[in-house]
């Protein structure tokens, strides 16, 4: 018996037989086993071209009214039997006589001499026999197909599941119990050089100042909490530490609640009551956006209305005209679809801002592709390992100053700063420890050393190959020169100024429309200009964002009225891996100084880190256990399949 039983074929043959009385060409399907041909009435009304083999339901489908009285006598009997089937089984011999004949015997498996057991039944046939048994109320023979099957408390089928689960739980718990089970290496404390996305992301967030607002898309719920909570916690801490106000929004209602929980956890880590983050002052939780992609479109187009109402339905007091007023957009999302929606619906309206993306493993490939393909998208940071590195860097940045009290004056002579600018908020947080280690020349030594807890991160951004010492024969522009070749930023958006002439080089600084830089060269095809930042630092800017012209030295000097820091200081800063902060509308320069007094380093530092390492190790061990279970399970199934032959395998 080579071909599998086909119930559908069987129905068809029954129909053909009953309909016009023609003898079928040959018996098919289960009919082979029949002692005689049952004479069933034609059930189907009208003719319908079959798109595939008609099923039993096809046969019945044509009946518009299914009142019981209209049913054929045998169908009614069939139906009554099926209702009775849930009762204790009636003797199968007394059930439908045709079917009874069909089956030859109710215990067809247990009777070795029976008609059917004489032939090997395929799985499909066994299923159909079981189905017929179900209808006639006969005792069930198989465990495999019945939907009524009760879940066993313990069965051999459940053993692999239980073992796999037990193994996973065991290995995941081990690192929390003892440190002897550490497996794998901890993530680096700095992002590797080839990962520009996370480095840029850190720099851009670190570059925020107190009057900036960040729109945070908080797009994950408890499902991804294990993977993303730490990352969200750190990113928010970084923002809060600089007194930047995040506007948190989500298209997932549970995520709004979850965001609140993450902030509560941050508050719990802060000791004093007056240091607590307060909704409406330090952050804003906006109302949930229904409608998926359309909700996000609504956010981008009606930003002003949406920011007025908080998640609790109360007025926020925020007045923004458009999404463009956000300095940056930060998206913490668990699914690729949400990232796509943000990129397609929100980002086009946020001119001048970047979308910084943090995500999990599942959405990482898409986020990576976006970040590589679109200038406006930065990142991605993904998973718990990146979170660990981010946390280390954050701690290093803020940590060094905590015990240096008070800061021993400016390490480098402060440059004159514009009266109208908030000089405190614009200062970077280069640490004394870092400056000490910096191979920069002519740096005055601080009188007080950094505390031992500070982690210098000199290895973070080693000088890039393109960073060459400023040629001594190229003096900074002075008023004595008649004219200078410059480029002026013409793009309405903020532009990236990079370490080298490609978009994969680190972002060094941000330029704004109207900013002017002296040109000192260009790359081969003229698509990038090499410019001299006012502090004497060489950098590159894409040609299509700027306009080249020649100006008089005095005009150029006027544009740079914020003056320059010393060359050595700028170079030291470069080597420390900071973004040069040019400020809005006019260039301003980095100076290596303690953090502004307005910053709140405790937010970055007061974290419970005791569980971070065991958690990472648990993840490693858990992944290895999962691989083991998957490989072992599939090997067993593959072997079983090979031993039983292809037809006996589950479908």
Among positions 606-645, residues that touch another protein (CB under 8 A) are 616, 620, 623-624, 626-627, 629-634, 637-638, 640-641
Q: How far is the CB of 303 from another protein (least distance, A)?
A: 13
Binding mask 143-182 for another protein (x = CB under 8 A): xxxxxxx-x--------xx--xx--x--------------
Query: Looking only at residues 358 through 397 of this chain, which bind another protein when binding is defined by CB under 8 A?
Result: 361-362, 364-366, 368-369, 383, 385
Which strand (E) or helix (H) includes residue 488? strand 483-489
Shortest distance, position 568 Cβ to another protein, whole Å? 38
Contact indicator for 262, 233 with CB cutoff of 8 Å:
yes
Residues 554-613 that bind another protein (CB under 8 A): none
Instruction: Tell me how far, at minimum, the Cβ of 54 lies from another protein, in Å.
Output: 8
Cis peptide before 407 (omega within 30 of 0): no
Considering beta carbons, is residue 414 or 633 the nearer one to another protein? Answer: 633
> Which residues 217-236 are close enough to bind another protein by CB under 8 A?
221-226
In the numeric block, the tokens 């032959």 are attached to 645
The CB density around residue 439, as the number of other CB atoms within 10 Å, is 11
Nearer residue to another protein within complex by CB, 198 or 295: 295
Cα 383 to chain centroid distance, Å, stands at 8
In the structure encoding, which two tokens stand for residue 535, read together? 């502090």
Q: Which of the residues 276 through 335 are near another protein (CB under 8 A)?
A: 290-295, 297-298, 301-302, 312-314, 335
- Given the complex with another protein, which of 294 and 408 has the nearer CB atom? 294
Residue 645 CB, shortest distance to another protein, in Å, is 11
Site size with another protein, rule: CB under 8 A:
101
Binder of another protein out of 258, 505, 600, 615 (CB under 8 A): 258
| For another protein, the closer CB: 204 or 357 | 357
Nearest residue (CB) to another protein, 145 versus 421:
145
Please count the other Cβ atoms lying within 10 Å of the Cβ belonging to residue 448: 13
| Minimum distance, C-beta of residue 494 to another protein, in the bound complex (Å) | 23
Nearest Cα to Cα of residue 458 among 478, 418, 430, 500 = 430
- Cα–Cα dist 210/180, whole Å: 45
Strand order, beta sheet including 528-532: 507-511, 495-498, 538-542, 528-532, 516-522, 483-489, 546-552
Query: What is the C-alpha to C-alpha distance for residues 325 and 17, in angstroms, rounded to an integer?
Result: 77
For 267, residues 6+ apart whose C-beta sits below 8 A from its C-beta are: 276, 277
Contact pattern for another protein over residues 25 through 64, marking x by CB under 8 A: -----------------------xxxxxx-xxxxxxx-xx
Rounded distance, CA 322 to CA 308, Å? 12
For 366-388, b/e burial (b = at least 16 CB within 10 A) is: bbbebbeeeebbbbbbbbbbbbb
Q: Does 476 bind another protein (CB under 8 A)?
A: no
- Minimum Å gap between C-beta 111 and another protein is 25
Q: Which of residues 80-99 bind another protein (CB under 8 A)?
A: 82-83, 85
**Closest distance of CB 155 from another protein, Å:** 10
Beta strands in 185-338 (DSSP E): 213-219, 245-249, 284-285, 328-333
Q: Which is nearer to another protein, 239 or 339 (CB)?
A: 339
Closer of 159 and 476 to another protein (Cβ): 159
Burial class for 426, CB neighbours closer than 10 Å (0-12, 13-18, 19+): buried
Nearer to another protein, 361 or 445 (CB): 361
């Amino acid at each position: 018996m080579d071909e599998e039983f086909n119930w559908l074929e069987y129905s068809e043959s029954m129909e053909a037989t009953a309909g016009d009385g023609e003898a079928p060409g040959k018996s098919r399907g289960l009919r082979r086993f029949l002692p005689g041909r049952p004479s069933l009435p034609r059930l189907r009304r009208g003719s319908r071209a079959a798109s595939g083999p008609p099923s039993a339901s096809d046969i019945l489908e044509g009946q518009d009214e299914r009142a019981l009285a209209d049913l054929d006598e045998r169908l009614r009997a069939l139906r009554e039997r099926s209702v009775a089937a849930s009762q204790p089984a009636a003797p199968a011999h007394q059930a439908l006589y045709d079917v009874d004949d069909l089956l030859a015997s109710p215990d067809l498996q247990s009777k070795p001499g029976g008609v059917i057991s004489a032939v090997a039944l395929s799985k499909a046939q066994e299923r159909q026999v079981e189905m017929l048994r179900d209808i006639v109320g006969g005792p069930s023979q198989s465990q495999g197909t019945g939907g009524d099957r009760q879940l066993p408390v313990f069965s051999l089928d459940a053993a692999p599941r239980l073992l796999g689960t037990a193994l996973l739980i065991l290995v995941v718990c081990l690192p929390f119990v003892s440190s002897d089970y550490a497996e794998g290496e901890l993530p680096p404390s700095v992002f590797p050089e080839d990962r520009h996305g996370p480095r840029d992301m850190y720099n851009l967030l670190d570059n925020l100042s107190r009057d900036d607002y960040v729109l945070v898309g908080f797009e994950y719920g408890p499902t991804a909490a294990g993977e993303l909570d730490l990352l969200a916690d750190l990113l928010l801490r970084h923002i809060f530490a600089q007194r930047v106000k995040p506007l948190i929004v989500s298209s997932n209602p549970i995520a709004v609640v979850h965001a609140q929980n993450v902030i509560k956890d941050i508050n719990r880590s802060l000791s004093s009551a007056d240091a607590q983050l307060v909704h409406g002052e330090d952050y804003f939780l906006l109302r949930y956006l229904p409608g998926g992609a359309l909700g996000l479109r609504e956010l981008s187009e009606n930003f002003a209305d949406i920011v007025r109402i908080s998640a609790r339905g109360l007025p926020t007091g925020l007045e923004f005209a458009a999404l463009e007023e956000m300095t940056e957009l930060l998206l913490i999302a668990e699914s690729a679809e949400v990232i796509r929606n943000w990129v397609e619906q929100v980002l086009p309206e946020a001119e001048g801002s970047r979308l910084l993306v943090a995500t999990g493993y599942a959405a990482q490939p898409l986020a990576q592709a976006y970040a590589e393909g679109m200038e406006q998208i930065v990142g991605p940071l993904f998973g718990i390992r990146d979170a660990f590195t981010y946390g280390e860097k954050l701690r290093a940045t803020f940590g060094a100053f905590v015990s240096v009290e008070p800061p021993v004056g400016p390490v480098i002579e402060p440059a004159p700063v514009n009266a109208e600018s908030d000089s405190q908020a614009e200062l970077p947080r280069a640490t004394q420890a870092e400056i000490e280690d910096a191979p920069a020349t002519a740096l005055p030594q601080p009188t007080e050393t950094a505390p031992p807890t500070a982690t210098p991160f000199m290895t973070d951004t080693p000088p890039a190959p393109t960073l060459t010492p400023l040629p001594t024969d190229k003096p900074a522009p002075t008023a004595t020169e008649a004219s200078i070749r410059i480029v002026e930023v013409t793009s309405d958006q903020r532009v990236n100024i990079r370490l080298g002439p490609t978009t994969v080089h680190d972002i060094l600084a941000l330029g704004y429309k109207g900013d002017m830089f002296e040109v000192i060269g260009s790359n081969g095809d003229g698509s990038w200009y090499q410019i001299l930042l006012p502090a004497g630092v060489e950098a590159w800017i894409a040609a299509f964002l700027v306009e080249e012209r020649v100006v008089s030295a005095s005009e150029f000097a006027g544009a740079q009225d914020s003056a320059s820091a010393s060359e050595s200081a700028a170079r030291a800063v470069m080597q420390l891996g900071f973004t040069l902060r040019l400020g809005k509308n006019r260039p301003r320069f980095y100076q290596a100084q303690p953090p502004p007094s307005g910053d709140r380093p405790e937010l970055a530092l007061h974290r419970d880190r005791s569980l971070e390492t065991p958690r990472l190790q648990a993840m490693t061990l858990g992944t290895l256990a999962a691989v083991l279970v998957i490989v072992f399970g599939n090997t067993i199934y593959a072997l079983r399949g090979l031993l039983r032959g292809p037809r006996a395998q589950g479908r």
